Chain A
Amino acid sequence: MALLDIRNLSVRVGPGRDALTVVDRISLTVNEGRILALVGASGSGKSLLMQAVMMLRRDNISYSADRFKLDGEDLLKIPSRKRRRIIGQNISFIMQDPRQSLDPTMKIRDQIYEVMPRIPWYHVLSRLKNFFRRTRSKTAAALLHRSGIRDHERILGSYPAQLSDVECQKIMLAIALASKPRILLLDEPVVNLETASRLQVLKLLDRCAKNDRTAVVVICNDLASVYNFADEFAFMYAGQIVERGSRDRILNNPRHPYTASLIRTMLELGRNGRLKRYLPVLSGKHPDYRSMPVGCRFGARCRRARRECNREPEMIISKNEQYRCHFPLEDGALYEDE
């Protein structure tokens, strides 16, 4: 059974009647020990989707879903305060820009202590206080060590402003993993990092998924940075999931033209690093939510678009592939010249 099972989740932005449906009836299943990469252009609603999964309250945003099950438990039937706690205990969310996610006025030590299980009051009162203090700092060091930080003494005693981006990202990982979450959501975890630290972070995530059986969901707008790391891909375009499948299937035989165009931009870099030929840049721009095109949302930018594309395509779900297109690419069509 899927760890997280969401059916027809919609996110509406804006007040009352003028609200725009930005995330449109997305269904999502997340499985234990698997890494799911959610790829899409900026503005396609990936971050909003993640915030909806966390059910974070925000001004002017409303969520609706038909089903929201976490490990078999239906969260839609639970009062919101309790729901927030359950989600917080089971799902960890790392937002974009890790430095902003750390309180600038607190030492890293205190921020890590904050997420660790509390020392009960009778321990604090008793003579064992110092003992528990010591184990607490040892646990904090172990947490940091697990997320790949070696000089934890320096890190624990410093403020976020004194640390580099990759250190902040690793600290956020340590904080996220401290509560032993079942699911880890990351919003563009590697976007600001240089290649070496990018690989370090991805390796950590991989270890989380493989060793601890954590389900990892990574948002990125750049397929190249995660293509050999994720087990599954979901491609988002204009608030909808347009294609979803396992890595091998997607990379070899994409069905949706948008997926194909993203993959092609990677393939055109030849073996010796030279461009094989003119890079097929996707022309046009992402549609505006205020004036969404009728029918297929990708239609205006799609070379294969026909008349039937004025009708909105349904999600076609077969055994190992899901896509939303009237004229999907055939097997091997990725390499054909268009």
Chain B
Amino acid sequence: MFLDLEHLTMRFGGVVAVNDVTLSIGRGEIHGLIGPNGSGKTTIFNVVSGYYKPTSGKISFEGAQISGLPAHQITGRGFARTFQNLRLFKSMTVLDNVLVGMERHTKTSLWRAMLDPVATQREDKLLTEKAMSLLNLFGIAEFAHARATSLPYGNQRRVEMARALATDPKIVLLDEPASGLNETETDALRETLLKIRDSGVTIFIVEHDMKLVKSVCDSITVLDYGKKIAEGCYADVSRDQVVIEAYLGKEEDL
């Protein structure tokens, strides 16, 4: 498959945050990762993007093992992500935030910038145009020169997604992109997610908004207490007795 997690386990001292999780994501699909709070979803994201080294298990991407690589190299393989709590570069403008995402594709070294200012300027212009078209995709081009953190919450989320896409990824990891958004904003997000997928980028998404999950995810993995308890399409998963119990508690508990 495109991205494979095999028997992934992440332990912090005595706590097993992720317990023997195996899952596969196909190229070009939107894969949802759901589960109650504290079930290990964000930990999986952090392991996949290289912030934690898994205690055991293996992650491979396009057939090559990536677990254990440092975060910036994993990004270099074509990963991008957003964060559950917004993490924009505070002192930068919206445009600069997106441009940082493009850094890894620029050829301009310091020496070249000094020796060949014309080519550098041409490249700068090209990058800025590309960044602006991304901002356009998210409908926030008018704020390009505003300080990123001065924008309202929903727009900051859009900046974060634009920045993630700016790295030109093969797969994006979105950690609760709909949290804090109102219904109209969530509808716009749905459109954007489908647009991103149709442009050929695979999406791995953690989300609590089940309406959104239902309408965009091609397949879903359900976690509870760090363990995988179900997988499949939304219709199957939502009827699964174990999943219903994980979310609502067992009948005798009620």
Asked if chains A and B come from one complex, the reply is no
Q: Give residues in A with beta carbon < 8 Å to B.
A: none
Chain B residues with a Cβ under 8 A of chain A: none
